[in-house]
Amino acid sequence: MKIAITGAAGFIAFHVARALLADGHAVSGMDSFTGHDPDLARQRLALLLEHPEFEFVQLDLSEAADLQDWLTRTAPDVVLHLAAEAGARTSFADPGAYVRANMIGTLHLLEACRVVAPAHLLIASSSSVYGANELPPSAETDRTDFPVSFYAATKSSAESMSHAYSHAFDIPTTCLRLFTVYGPWGRPDMALFTFVRLILEGEPIELYGDGQLMRDFTYVADVVDAVLALIPLTPAPGQAHPASDSLSPVAPWRTVNVAGSQPVLVTELVSAVEASLGTVAEKVLLPRQQGDVVDTHADVGLLTALTGLKLQTPVGEGVAAFVEWHRAHYRV
């Protein structure tokens, strides 16, 4: 298959692209290098460019005509929209950037898909869309109309826009609600990356919500397995599906939680880091921050019913793999 990936030099997209190339697919990627660490993104890209079946173009989702030209030239069977402005806590500091990337950028992609008509469009959404849901685990059929961060609001909006386009133009679409993905080559703004860096530098780490926030940490290799399993599962109205399916009654569109469904306290994550580093961290307990939710916990019944997968890399194992990569990559 020919597969187009937006945000190809990003953390999750990089891992997905490598797996697709290893499986024999041709991959065309785009990225704008405007994320949290452009240098790290370029290092990821350099590894992808070593593969003869990978091609790359640098462009921004705001460049609607160039985006259309790229997809028209590529003529992909599948489009993976993994580019985004990420981060719940920082989304109120520059909300315009989140609108431009997650809403206007997604609109431009949907317009392009309207023309090229891929067999399947998969869009990276987020567990943050569940917002103030107080009855975890969160299932795809739960309400998502109470966001507590502006980031969540933009991702929920992107889901709604994709449903409208799926309905109007018959674009088979799956929205992947990703839960706190971590692992090698991860984003430097994420908690795990920050904890490891600060502990190695002998600096204290900050634990928001007094360290009692719970997160459904999901190892990146498990996410890759889920994405690859979902690519051929094209939504279609009226198709047989489990009772828990989020399949739209009027469009070839669904949402799927992608998570390990093994939430742990952030303090447990820190304990795993300390065990891997052989060092005890100095901890500073702070109140919950704007945009934080207390608990993320996915109901993965639909993912398992559709794919047969149950993502189960233990946090301790995943943290150890990240620490090993971090030490080797930064020579610390």
Please write the tens of the pLDDT for every residue from 2-32.
999 999 999 999 999 999 999 999 999 999 9
pLDDT exceeds 90 at position 291:
no
Report whether 9 contacts 46 (CB < 8 A): no
φ and ψ at residue 50, rounded to 5 degrees:
-70, -15
When pLDDT is averaged across residues 263-267 and rounded to a whole number, the result is 95
Q: Which of 24, 32, 28, 31 is nearest to 3 (CA)?
A: 28
When pLDDT is averaged across residues 123-132 and rounded to a whole number, the result is 95
**How many other CB atoms sit within 10 Å of the CB of residue 219?**
23
151 counts as catalytic: yes
Q: Of 3.30.390.50, 3.30.9.10, 3.30.365.10, 3.90.25.10, which CATH number belongs to 182-215+262-297+312-330?
A: 3.90.25.10
**78-81 vs 181-182, strand pairing mode:** unpaired
Distances (CA, A) of 121 to 77, 88, 211, 230, 272: 9, 24, 37, 11, 36
Q: Is the pTM of this model over 0.85?
A: yes
When pLDDT is averaged across residues 119-138 and rounded to a whole number, the result is 92
pLDDT exceeds 90 at position 100:
yes
- Which member of 98, 151, 165, 182 is catalytic? 151
Question: Is residue 6 within a helix (H) or strand (E), and if so which, with residue range?
Answer: strand 2-6
Q: What is the DSSP letter of 102?
A: I
Pairwise CA distance, residues 102 & 149, whole Å? 13
Question: What DSSP line would sit under 212-239, residue for residue?
Answer: T-EE--EEHHHHHHHHHHHTT----TT-
pLDDT, position 118: 99
pLDDT exceeds 70 at position 103:
yes
pLDDT level of residue 255 (50, 70, 90 thresholds):
very high
pLDDT level of residue 234 (50, 70, 90 thresholds):
very high
pLDDT, position 312: 86
Share above pLDDT 90 across residues of the chain, in percent, rounded to a whole number = 87
pLDDT, position 134: 67
Q: The domain 2-181+219-258: what is its CATH number?
A: 3.40.50.720
CATH 3.40.50.720 domain residues, the chain: 2-181+219-258
pLDDT exceeds 80 at position 158:
yes
pLDDT, position 45: 98
**How many other CB atoms sit within 10 Å of the CB of residue 88?**
22
pLDDT, position 249: 92
Question: For the packed helices 315-330 and 266-277, what is the interaxial angle rounded to 10 degrees?
Answer: 50
Pairwise CA distance, residues 91 & 131, whole Å? 14
Mean pLDDT of the chain: 95
Q: Which range has the worst mean pLDDT, 8-17, 71-80, 291-300?
A: 291-300
Pairwise CA distance, residues 115 & 40, whole Å? 33
Pairwise CA distance, residues 251 & 10, whole Å? 30
pLDDT exceeds 80 at position 96:
yes
pLDDT, position 240: 62
Tens digits of per-residue pLDDT, 161-215?
Answer: 999 999 999 999 999 999 999 999 999 999 999 999 999 999 999 999 888 899 9
CATH 3.90.25.10 domain residues, the chain: 182-215+262-297+312-330
